[in-house]
């Protein structure tokens, strides 16, 4: 069996070598000729999987994408050819939520904001929006969620808000897929009209898909002197970036919000599990067998404030300013894809064990994500 896999997929050898011959490929450069003899194709978000890519292949039975987003996959085409498809929902939700928290900590320091006085409007209450809301709740930060699709589901008992209400919040964080059709499209969900209604002091964070915000409209707004504070991880037209927009951002990164080692590696693990099921084989590997221990395993904390703990976690585990600096310095030199390919190892809060005085942070539920050392 021949398994083609994106070279940017951690632990691919560990998970997949038992299935057959492994062939790595570069996500954006792969061709129909290259994958003609693939039995299994494992991609990430930069590979368009469609009739053109699979035109020369008549033996493919499984396609996996180690991502939550599936806008790069022609799902009806795969279904029409009876090719099994799996994505990795939730694999990087914690990573994106920690990216948002890190951004909020940085901006709260830069502008002397009290996070507990802010309300965060979350657009999209799926895996990432939910993880984010749990962490905000753990920190005592108020939030509202807009998700008209989940709102219709009787089993989802959360209270939902309208888009208008969420766009009125102090912080707006976008966590929707790219959808161009249907009743709830997200393409240019933020456009010249609703962007113009935002207030100077609001913060807008986008770590979903670039096309969800009309980037030209955003640039035009900023060029008029609007004070909206921008955190952009995703860009319309990646790997191209509307470069004049960059100086107007507080934080700018190269679509790496989901790039914790755990986030990417969970994607590999989820595809491994799906492939085992597809081939009717027993699951024998798990991610914890391969994940190295983190370089930071211990933070000692004496105070009983969840936000001080968050600040510590951000400084010691994931400070988004590192990725912002890399982006600003390297974009014109290395390019968008290279920044992503050479992304330095980043761990999640869960890789850290926190020790403290006996009663510290007793108010912080486990949702913030770290491990608590038992006293």
Ligand X SMILES: O=C(O)[C@H](O)[C@H](O)COP(=O)(O)O
Ligand Y SMILES: NC(=O)c1ccc[n+]([C@@H]2O[C@H](COP(=O)([O-])OP(=O)(O)OC[C@H]3O[C@@H](n4cnc5c(N)ncnc54)[C@H](O)[C@@H]3O)[C@@H](O)[C@H]2O)c1
The CA distances from residue 131 to 95, 99, 127, in Å, are 9, 12, 6
Query: Would you count residue 207 as binding ligand Y (CB under 6 A)?
Result: yes
Mark 87-126 with x for binding to ligand X (rule: CB under 6 A) and - for no binding.
-----x----------------------------------
CA gap 315, 105 in Å, rounded: 9
Q: Cβ 282 to ligand X, closest distance in Å? A: 27
Residue showing tokens 């006293």: 375
**Residue 151 three-state SS:** helix
Which phi and psi angles does 242 have, rounded to 5°? -75, 90
Do residues 135 and 112 lie in contact, with contact meaning Cβ atoms separated by under 8 Å? no
Non-local CB neighbours of 305 within 8 Å, separated by 6+ positions: 361
**Residue 335 three-state SS:** coil
From 67, 128, 215, 253, residue interacting with ligand X (rule: CB under 6 A)? 67
CA gap 370, 313 in Å, rounded: 9
Non-local CB neighbours of 178 within 8 Å, separated by 6+ positions: 69, 71, 186, 187, 208, 209, 211, 212
Q: Cβ 44 to ligand X, closest distance in Å? A: 3
Q: Cβ 118 to ligand Y, closest distance in Å? A: 20
From 22, 40, 42, 46, residue interacting with ligand X (rule: CB under 6 A)? 46
CA gap 359, 261 in Å, rounded: 31
- Residue 123 contact among ligand Y, ligand X, none, beta carbon within 5 to 8 Å by kind: ligand Y
Residue 209 annotated as catalytic = yes
CA gap 32, 51 in Å, rounded: 9
Mark 219-258 with x for binding to ligand X (rule: CB under 6 A) and - for no binding.
---------------------------------------x
| Residue 95 assigned to a binding site | no
Mark 30-69 with x for binding to ligand Y (rule: CB under 6 A) and - for no binding.
--------------------------------------xx
Residue showing tokens 């070598």: 17
Query: Would you count residue 92 as binding ligand Y (CB under 6 A)?
Result: yes
Q: Cβ 330 to ligand X, closest distance in Å? A: 17
| Residue 289 assigned to a binding site | no
Task: Put the strands of the sheet holding 229-232 in their side by side order.
Answer: 142-146, 119-123, 171-174, 203-206, 229-232, 251-252
Query: Would you count residue 96 as binding ligand Y (CB under 6 A)?
Result: yes
Q: Which stretch binds ligand X (CB under 6 A): 67-75, 152-160, 163-171, 273-281?
A: 67-75
Q: Which is nearer to ligand X, 121 or 126 (CB)?
A: 126
CA gap 114, 7 in Å, rounded: 42
Residue 321 annotated as catalytic = no
Q: Which is nearer to ligand Y, 202 or 211 (CB)?
A: 211
Q: Pinpoint the alpha helices (H) of 167-227.
A: 192-196, 215-223
Q: Which stretch binds ligand Y (CB under 6 A): 9-17, 87-95, 326-334, 357-365?
A: 87-95
| Residue 259 assigned to a binding site | yes
Residue 255 annotated as catalytic = yes
- Pick from 181, 178, 171, 237: nearest CA to 204: 171
| Residue 272 assigned to a binding site | no
Q: Which residue among 131, 175, 209, 347 is the active-site one?
A: 209
- Residue 126 contact among ligand X, ligand Y, none, beta carbon within 5 to 8 Å by kind: ligand Y
- Pick from 24, 21, 29: nearest CA to 8: 24
From 35, 45, 189, 312, residue interacting with ligand X (rule: CB under 6 A)? 45
Do residues 214 and 86 lie in contact, with contact meaning Cβ atoms separated by under 8 Å? no
Q: Which residues contribute to the site for ligand Y (CB under 6 A)? A: 68-69, 89, 92-93, 96, 123-129, 146-150, 175-179, 184, 186, 207-209, 233-234, 255, 257-258
Q: Which residues contribute to the site for ligand X (CB under 6 A)? A: 8, 44-46, 67-69, 92, 258
Residues with active-site annotation: 209, 238, 255
């Amino acid at each position: 069996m021949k398994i083609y896999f994106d070279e940017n997929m951690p632990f691919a050898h560990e998970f997949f070598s038992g299935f057959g011959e492994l062939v790595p490929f570069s996500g954006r450069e792969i061709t129909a000729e290259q994958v003609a003899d693939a039995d299994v194709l494992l991609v990430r978000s930069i590979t368009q999987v469609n009739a053109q890519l699979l035109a020369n292949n008549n033996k493919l039975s499984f396609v996996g994408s180690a991502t939550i987003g599936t806008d790069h996959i022609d799902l009806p085409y795969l279904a029409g050819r009876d090719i099994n498809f799996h994505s990795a929902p939730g694999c990087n939700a914690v990573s994106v939520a920690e990216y948002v928290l890190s951004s909020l900590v940085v901006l709260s320091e830069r502008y002397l904001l009290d996070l507990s006085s802010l309300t965060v409007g979350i657009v999209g209450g799926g895996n990432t929006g939910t993880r984010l809301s749990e962490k905000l709740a753990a920190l005592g930060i108020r939030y509202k969620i807009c998700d008209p699709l989940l709102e219709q589901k009787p089993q989802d008992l959360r209270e939902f808000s309208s888009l208008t209400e969420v766009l009125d919040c102090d912080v707006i964080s976008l966590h929707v897929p790219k959808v161009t059709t249907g009743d709830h499209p997200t393409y240019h969900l933020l456009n010249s009209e609703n962007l113009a209604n935002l207030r100077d002091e609001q913060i807008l964070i986008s770590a979903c898909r670039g096309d969800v915000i009309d980037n030209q409209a955003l640039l035009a707004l900023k060029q008029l002197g609007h004070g909206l504070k921008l955190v952009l991880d995703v860009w319309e037209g990646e790997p191209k970036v509307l470069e004049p927009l960059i100086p107007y951002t507080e934080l700018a990164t190269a679509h790496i919000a989901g790039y914790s080692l755990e986030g990417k590696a969970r994607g590999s693990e989820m595809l491994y599990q799906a492939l085992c099921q597809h081939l009717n084989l027993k699951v024998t590997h798990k991610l914890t067998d391969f994940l190295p221990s983190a370089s930071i395993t211990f933070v000692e904390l004496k105070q009983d404030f969840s936000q001080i703990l968050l600040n510590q976690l951000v400084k010691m585990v994931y400070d988004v300013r590192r990725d912002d600096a890399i982006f600003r310095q390297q974009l014109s030199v290395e390019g968008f894809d290279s920044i992503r390919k050479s992304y330095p190892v980043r761990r999640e809060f869960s890789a850290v064990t926190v020790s403290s005085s006996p009663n510290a942070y007793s108010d912080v539920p486990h949702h913030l994500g770290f491990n608590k050392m038992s006293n």
